[in-house]
Amino acid sequence: MAELLQHLLNGLVLGGTYALLGIGLTLIFGLMNVVNFAHGEFYTLGAYVSFAALALAGIDFFAALLVAIVAGAALGWLCEVTLLRPLRNESIDTTMLVMIGVWIAMQNAELLGWGGVAKSIPHPFPTAPLVFGPVAIAPVRLFALVLAAGLIAASWLTIQKTKLGRAMRATFQDRDTAALMGVGIGRIHAATFAFGSGLAAAAGALLGPIFLVYPSMGDLASLKAFSVVILGGLGNLPGATLGGLLLGIAEELGAGYISSGYRDAVGFVIIILVLLFRPSGLLARQERIA
């Protein structure tokens, strides 16, 4: 029983970060119809910016987190304006290829700038685990989980309650009509891409201190983010959240009770099942954004 509870807690922490990664991707996918292969690289960027701010510039851990989110959003905005805006009316394949290019370019730039040796981000939390009866969790992981939940809630509120969110939902439903109603499509696209990239950077900065930071860390993150998006349905924010948690817990239980060698296989079996029985995702609805 203690083992099961510990597995569930581990899965929840892991799933929270998957959800954070998935939300950014699903927004960009759903709203802009762009398959963002570089999503994982914004995750890596967040981790490296946080490392640079902390270890090199010597600023506070929490301030570094903020710097990482701002840097991710800024680069995301730049990426949209310079690369994606001119291609807005091109097919999905064209932008997909461009994003694969961005992925390769960013990863190699990181390799060039930081070298292949993994970096470790120092964090101010005590290393001794917090013990709740039969389960234990490191304070830094608990912080990551709470902050991830906060960011997910903030994203949902932004989309549901703000003017920007309403414009985003309108653009998602019908881009041309939204444009006729006076929504600045260019501005909405740039904001969405910056938003999604900022969330990915936040995930990187949050997980950097828990794991290690190295140039290819984004590959695995991308893979998980795509899985989450498929599970939850394109452009579906609660779906991505649920999908992330489900994937994290399934992987954890699969590794714990079947075999750790099949950890990723368990995740993909669930994706196949979802695709077979609910092809448009767990929480698919007509209006898929939020």
Give the footprint of another protein on this chain (CB under 8 A). Answer: 3, 6-7, 10, 14, 111, 115-118, 120, 127, 129, 131, 136-138, 141, 207, 210-212, 214-217, 219-220, 251-256, 259-261, 263-264
Measured CA to CA, the distance from residue 12 to residue 129 in angstroms comes to 16
Closest listed residue to residue 48, CA positions, set 34, 75, 27, 68: 68
Measured CA to CA, the distance from residue 197 to residue 44 in angstroms comes to 11
Q: How far is the CB of 146 from another protein (least distance, A)?
A: 16
Q: Which is nearer to another protein, 16 or 281 (CB)?
A: 16
Q: How far is the CB of 100 from another protein (least distance, A)?
A: 17
Measured CA to CA, the distance from residue 216 to residue 209 in angstroms comes to 16
Q: How far is the CB of 32 from another protein (least distance, A)?
A: 29
Q: Which is nearer to another protein, 235 or 244 (CB)?
A: 244
Q: Which is nearer to another protein, 30 or 218 (CB)?
A: 218
Q: How far is the CB of 207 from another protein (least distance, A)?
A: 8
Q: Which is nearer to another protein, 118 or 153 (CB)?
A: 118
Measured CA to CA, the distance from residue 71 to residue 194 in angstroms comes to 10
The one-letter amino acid code at 100 reads I
Q: How far is the CB of 69 from another protein (least distance, A)?
A: 21
Measured CA to CA, the distance from residue 121 to residue 52 in angstroms comes to 9
Measured CA to CA, the distance from residue 111 to residue 121 in angstroms comes to 17
Q: Which is nearer to another protein, 148 or 255 (CB)?
A: 255
Measured CA to CA, the distance from residue 34 to residue 92 in angstroms comes to 6
In order of 27, 143, 288, the CA distances from 90 in angstroms are 19, 42, 23
